[in-house]
Structure 1
Amino acid sequence: MLDVEATYVNCWRNYTRFRTLYQILDDLGATIDIHRQSTPHDELVDRLQQHDGPRTVVILDEVDQLEDPSVIYDLHSLPQFAIICIANKEEELFSRIDDRLVSRLRSSEHVRMDKYHDEQLYDILSARAKWGLDEDVITDDQLYRIADAAAGDARLAIGILRTAAGKADRENHERITDDILLDSAEDARAQIKQKSLDSLTPHQRVVYDIVREHGPVGPSEIHERYSEDVDDPRTKRTIRTYLSKMEQYNLLEAEGTSRDREYSLVDSAAASPMQ
C-alpha cells in the first residue's frame, strides 16, 4: 500500500496565501509555534519544505478563489507534495498565474465534470432516501421533480430533499407532502444563497453590495465604485473574476455581450419551480 496522506483546503474560506499555507501545515501538525500575525510567508514555505512525513496530496478546492495564486507555485515546487486543483473555470485560473506554471498545469492530468442530468440526480437522491429515510416517505415521482427543479445542481437537489425531510419530521408527517416539497425548494434555495453570501471575501462582498444597490451595472462602473469604497482595491481583472464567480454561484446574473455586459442580482422567483 502506498504511504500517502491527503489534506483538503477550501480556498474560498482560506483565500490568502498565508491562510492556505497555514491550513496545510495545521493538518500536518506543524503550526505550534507559528503566529498568524507575525510569521512571514516564506517561513511557512520553508516549514513545508522541511516536512519529512509521507508524501502528501494537497486538494485545493475552489482554487480560483485564491487572491494570490502563487501559492500553487509554492506547492508545485515541493517534491514531497502533489496538488489537485478544483475550479469552476480553468481558463480564469490560468489567466491569473505565471506562464511557467500554466505550462506545467496544462501538461497535468485534467478531469472535466459536466452538470448532472436528471437521471443522475435522481440516482443520487434515491440512494440518500434509501439509506436516510423510512420506506415510502417520499415517492420516485417526487424525487424526479426535485431533480428537474435543481437543473443539474446536486447541492440544491440534496438541499431540497434534506429540508423536506426535516420539515416533515418536525410537523409529524409520515410522508413528505407536495406542499412540504414546494416550501422546501424555496427554503433550500434561500439557505444555499445565504451560505454563498457568507462565504464571500470582504472585497467580494463590497462588489456584491454595489450590484445590489446600483444594478444593472457594468464592470467599469462596478470597479470605479468599488475602488472608492475600499482602501486596497484589487485590479479590474480580479473584479471580473469576482463577478464571474458570483454568477457561477447564482448570486448575480449577467446580460449583454462582453462590451456592454451588465450585472444584477439573480431573481429567485425565476428559478426552476417545483412542478
Structure 2
Amino acid sequence: MFQDTFVPEEVVHRNTELTHLSGLLTPILQGEPAETAAIFGPTGVGKTCCARYAVEQLHENSFNVRTQYVNCWQDYNRYRVLYRLLEGLDRTLDIHRQSTPRDVLYDRLRDANEDPYVVVLDEVDQLEEKDVLYDLYTLPHITMILVANDEQEFYANLGDRLYSRLTGNERVLFEPYALDELVTILDARANSGLADGVVTRAQLELIADQAAGDARIAIGILRTATRKAARDNAECLTTDLIETAVPETRAELRQKTIDQLSHDQQVLYEIIADHTEITPGTLYEAYEQRCDDPKSRRSVRNYLGKMEHYHLIDADGEKRARVYRLSESAIGAQNS
C-alpha cells in the first residue's frame, strides 16, 4: 500500500472526478461504445489511481469487458503499445518482437473484437509515435483513457487528423490535493500497513505539508520514514526520521523518473546538468552532436516539457531568451 502502483479499495477526495470518469464508461455496460476520455493534471494528484480504479470497477461489473494498462514511459512507440494491448488479450504467443511487422499487430488487434476492450494509456504525452492513438480510435471495440500532465501541450502536439478526433472528447481535470486531503490519504495507508501508534496525526500533517499537494511524494515520505524506523528498530516514527526522509524521498523519486527517461531525454538532461543554464539553440546543437539519430526540434521541446512537469529541470524566459537549468531540488540532490 506504500507503492505507486497500489490501488486502494476506496479512492478518497476524488468523488467528482471518479463519477465523471465512470459515467463516461457506463455505455460499455449497456453494450454501446464509449467515447475516449482524457485525464489531465500535475504529478501526484491521483490521475493514474482513479483511471485504474474506474477500469477495475468496470471489469467487476461486466464479465465480457477486457482491460489493459499501458505505461507509455516504457511502451513509447506504436509497436510497443500494440504489443502490450495484444498481450492483454493473450494473443502474443506466436509474435516475434524483433521481426513481426507492426501492421500484423494492428490487424490482429482489429480482429480481436469479440468483447469491449478498455485501455488506459498512462503518460500518453510520452508517446513518440502518436499515430497509434489514431489506430486505436478507429477500432470500435476499443475505448481509450488517456492520462497526461498538461492538456494544452498534449493537444498542441497532435497531428491535424488526430487533433480533430480527440479534441471533442471528454476531459477530466485534476487539481493538487489540499493538505487535509493528503492527511486523509496517508492516514488510510497507515491504518492498512502500520501498527497503531507508529505515526501520529501531527506527523502525517508534517508529511503532507512537505509534499505540497503531491500524493506520490507524501506516500513516498511515509514509506521512507517507515523503512528507516524499521532499520533503526524504532517502534514509532519521529520528527527527525520524517525530516531526513523528505530529501531522500525526493531524490529517490527523481532518480526513478530519470531512469524512465528515453535515451534522447537522458542525453538532454545530462547536457543541462553540465551547464549552469543553457539556451535552446545551444542545447539542441549539443544534443545533435551526442545522438546518432537526433529528433526534431519540436520533439525536443516536447521532451523538455515533460521533464519540466516532473521537476527535473526549470525553464525561464520565452523564445530566444529562454534558458534551461536543473531544478533546485535536482541540484540539491546532486550536492547531498
Q: Which residue matches 1:197?
A: 258
Equivalent of residue 60 in structure 1, options 121, 138, 141: 121
Which residue identity lines up with residue 128 of structure 1 in the other structure?
A: R
Which residue identity lines up with residue 258 of structure 2 in the other structure?
A: L
Equivalent of residue 43 in structure 1, options 75, 94, 104: 104
1:1-275 correspondence runs (5 A): 1-2=61-62, 3-268=64-329
The 3-state SS of whatever aligns with 2:120 is: strand
Q: Distance in 2 between matches of 1:270 and 1:39?
A: 44
Which residue identity lines up with residue 101 of structure 2 in the other structure?
A: P
TM-score by length of 1: 0.94
In 1, are the aligned partners of 2:313 and 2:325 still within 8 Å (CA)? Answer: yes
* Post-superposition CA distance 1:203-258 (Å, at most 9, x none): 11111111011240122211111111111111111111111111111111112234
In 1, are the aligned partners of 2:131 and 2:162 still within 8 Å (CA)? Answer: no
Q: Distance in 2 between matches of 1:261 and 1:142?
A: 40
* Post-superposition CA distance 1:85-143 (Å, at most 9, x none): 00101222222222232122121111000111211111111111112111121111111
TM-score by length of 2: 0.78
Please report how far the alpha carbon of residue 268 of structure 1 lies from its aligned counterpart in structure 2 after TM superposition. Answer: 2.0
Which residue identity lines up with residue 156 of structure 1 in the other structure?
A: I
**1:269/1:19 CA distance change after superposition, 3 Å:** closer
Q: Distance in 2 between matches of 1:184 and 1:258?
A: 38
Please report how far the alpha carbon of residue 186 of structure 1 lies from its aligned counterpart in structure 2 after TM superposition. Answer: 1.4
Percent identity at matched positions? Answer: 47
**1:115/1:135 CA distance change after superposition, 3 Å:** same
Which residue identity lines up with residue 105 of structure 2 in the other structure?
A: L
Please report how far the alpha carbon of residue 270 of structure 1 lies from its aligned counterpart in structure 2 after TM superposition. Answer: 8.5
Please report how far the alpha carbon of residue 195 of structure 1 lies from its aligned counterpart in structure 2 after TM superposition. Answer: 0.3
| CA-atom RMSD in angstroms | 1.5
Please report how far the alpha carbon of residue 73 of structure 1 lies from its aligned counterpart in structure 2 after TM superposition. Answer: 0.3
Unaligned runs of 5+ in 1: none
In 1, are the aligned partners of 2:251 and 2:330 still within 8 Å (CA)? Answer: no
In 1, are the aligned partners of 2:66 and 2:89 still within 8 Å (CA)? Answer: no
Q: Distance in 2 between matches of 1:159 and 1:96?
A: 32
Q: Distance in 2 between matches of 1:103 and 1:112?
A: 20
Which residue identity lines up with residue 251 of structure 1 in the other structure?
A: L
Q: With CA pairs under 8 Å and 6+ residues apart, which has the higher RCO, 1 or 2?
A: 2
In 1, are the aligned partners of 2:71 and 2:123 still within 8 Å (CA)? Answer: yes
Unaligned runs of 5+ in 2: 1-60
* Post-superposition CA distance 1:152-196 (Å, at most 9, x none): 111110000011111111211111011111111111111101100
Q: Distance in 1 between matches of 2:131 and 2:330?
A: 40
In 1, are the aligned partners of 2:221 and 2:242 still within 8 Å (CA)? Answer: yes
Q: Distance in 2 between matches of 1:63 and 1:192?
A: 20
Which residue identity lines up with residue 61 of structure 1 in the other structure?
A: D
Which residue identity lines up with residue 77 of structure 1 in the other structure?
A: T
Q: Distance in 2 between matches of 1:113 and 1:219?
A: 30
Alignment size in residue pairs: 271
